[in-house]
Amino acid sequence: MSSEKPSSHSVTITGSGRTFTAREDESVLSAALRQAVMLPYSCKNGTCGSCRGRLVEGRVDYPFHPPLALEEKEQAAGDVLLCQASPRTDLVIEAREIEAIRDIPVLTLPARVVDKALLADNVVKLVLRLPKAQRLQFLAGQYIDILVRGGKRRAFSIASPPSREDEIELHIRHVEGGDFTGWVFDELKLKDILRIEGPLGTFFVRHDDEKRPMILMGGGTGIAPLKSMIEDLLAHGDTRPIHLFWGARTPGELYLEPLIHEWVDAHTHIEYTPAISEPGDLRVQSGFAGYVHEAVLDAYQTLAHHDVYMSGPPAMIDAARHAFADKGVREDRLYYDSFEFGSDVPVSILAQPH
């Protein structure tokens, strides 16, 4: 049996000149995060495109998953998905570095279920209490992983703001045939303990000298990180204009609307547009009939002066990313958190009874 170690290569980021090493058996993103070089990412499975970079010199391949978020013309132009690309030579890449999260530690913690409630027929709210001696420092918009034995994990955005220091709120959608979400709905009990890891991701509100109007767009439970963002901005007295768009198949899936209407009634800088995609639903009283990204396109002639934050399934993110680019949004002002449901495994071993 060979004990030969995988070859390592240097990776240099243009602009900053920062250099780190990456092994051939790991992704460029994994190597960067391991060495405290913070690059954008979200799904880590090649579907969202958050970790997109440009290969200036060198060669990579994709031993883990294909770069699904890249079109052929983008790959031909040198674009790479750093969450899946492994080095085969020394590399020079163009990539955005994220400074704001560099000093926030990623922790593995036990968390006790202290609240479980249905928000909609297919969405449950979990509130997890953190240990008294430890806190989870995070930026509004980030997510945590729930750890499952066997190395499996499930990612969920944090719906509560960072000011709720002793607990975090999650919104979990029931997936038909999904063992994990079925277990959460049917078997997970109050006082059960889960193991979590976080915070993760680079989806959070950017703060600079120019506070541009914000468009926040969510699909389904993609409202969760946007809720955290809005509540955090309100807590800090940030009054930049916010237009929240939330899309669902039916009005009954817009489970946070009472809270959203409270925001709109109390704060003149917040506007809200729901979007219902189910054709022929006569219950739509106001808002937009169609997909949520189409609602944004219908409301704005140009997005050149906005920061856009969007959270939801890959299909929504992909359609919006291209359509919004045509409306003038700058790439460095378009932020997104894309998620999809992974294949499930038996999870009866997840919870430890009180």
Q: Is a pLDDT exceeding 90 seen at residue 344?
A: no
Does residue 20 sit in the same domain as residue 130? no
Q: How confident is the model at residue 176 (pLDDT cuts 50, 70, 90)?
A: confident
Q: Is a pLDDT exceeding 90 seen at residue 49?
A: no
Query: How is 194-226 classified by DSSP, letter by letter?
Result: EEEEEEE-S------SS---EEEEEEGGGHHHH
Does residue 224 sit in the same domain as residue 301? yes
The amino acid sitting at 126 is: L
Query: How is 162-174 classified by DSSP, letter by letter?
Result: TT-TTEEEEEEEP
User: Minimum mean pLDDT among 3-7, 88-92, 136-140: which range?
Assistant: 3-7
Q: How confident is the model at residue 352 (pLDDT cuts 50, 70, 90)?
A: very low
Specify whether the CB–CB gap between 48 and 317 falls below 8 A.
Answer: yes
Q: What is the mean pLDDT of residues 250-267?
A: 96
Residue 228, C-beta contacts closer than 8 angstroms, at least 6 positions apart: 140, 141, 157, 158, 159, 160, 161, 162
Kindly report, residue by residue over 86-137, the tens digit of the pLDDT: 999 999 999 988 888 877 889 999 999 999 999 999 999 999 999 988 889 9
More confident residue, 125 or 37: 125
The CATH number of the domain holding residue 332 is 3.40.50.80
The count of domains in the chain is: 3
Three-point CA angle 115, 202, 34, nearest 5°: 105
Angstrom distance (rounded) from CA 50 to CA 41: 5
Examine residue 344 and state whether it is found in any structural domain, yes or no: no
Kindly report, residue by residue over 73-90, the tens digit of the pLDDT: 999 999 999 999 999 999
Examine residue 240 and state whether it is found in any structural domain, yes or no: yes
Does residue 289 sit in the same domain as residue 321? yes
Q: Is a pLDDT exceeding 70 seen at residue 277?
A: yes
User: What is the pLDDT, as a whole number, of residue 50?
Assistant: 83
Kindly report, residue by residue over 297-341, the tens digit of the pLDDT: 999 999 999 999 999 998 999 999 999 999 999 988 999 988 765
Does residue 47 sit in the same domain as residue 124? no
Angstrom distance (rounded) from CA 279 to CA 218: 19
Does residue 145 sit in the same domain as residue 243? no
Q: How confident is the model at residue 346 (pLDDT cuts 50, 70, 90)?
A: very low
Q: Is a pLDDT exceeding 60 seen at residue 284?
A: no
User: What is the pLDDT, as a whole number, of residue 353?
Assistant: 34
Angstrom distance (rounded) from CA 204 to CA 40: 11
Task: Name which of 195, 249, 199, 196 is nearest 219 in CA terms.
Answer: 249
Distances in whole angstroms, Cα of residue 73 to Cα of each of 76, 79, 80, 240: 5, 9, 11, 37
Does residue 247 sit in the same domain as residue 329? yes
Average pLDDT, the chain: 89
Does residue 42 sit in the same domain as residue 82? yes
Does residue 49 sit in the same domain as residue 79? yes
User: What is the pLDDT, as a whole number, of residue 257?
Assistant: 96
Q: What is the mean pLDDT of residues 31-57?
A: 86
Domain that holds residue 183: 107-200
Does residue 235 sit in the same domain as residue 332? yes
Half-sphere exposure in the Cβ direction for 265 (13 Å, CA):
6
The CATH number of the domain holding residue 128 is 2.40.30.10
In the chain, the percentage of residues whose pLDDT exceeds 70 is 92
Examine residue 265 and state whether it is found in any structural domain, yes or no: yes
More confident residue, 101 or 9: 9
User: What is the pLDDT, as a whole number, of residue 325?
Assistant: 93
236-248 burial, b for 16+ CB within 10 Å, e for fewer?
eebeeebbbbbbb
Examine residue 346 and state whether it is found in any structural domain, yes or no: no
Q: Determine if the pTM surpasses 0.75.
A: yes
Examine residue 54 and state whether it is found in any structural domain, yes or no: yes
Does residue 237 sit in the same domain as residue 127? no
Examine residue 183 and state whether it is found in any structural domain, yes or no: yes
Q: Is a pLDDT exceeding 70 seen at residue 280?
A: no
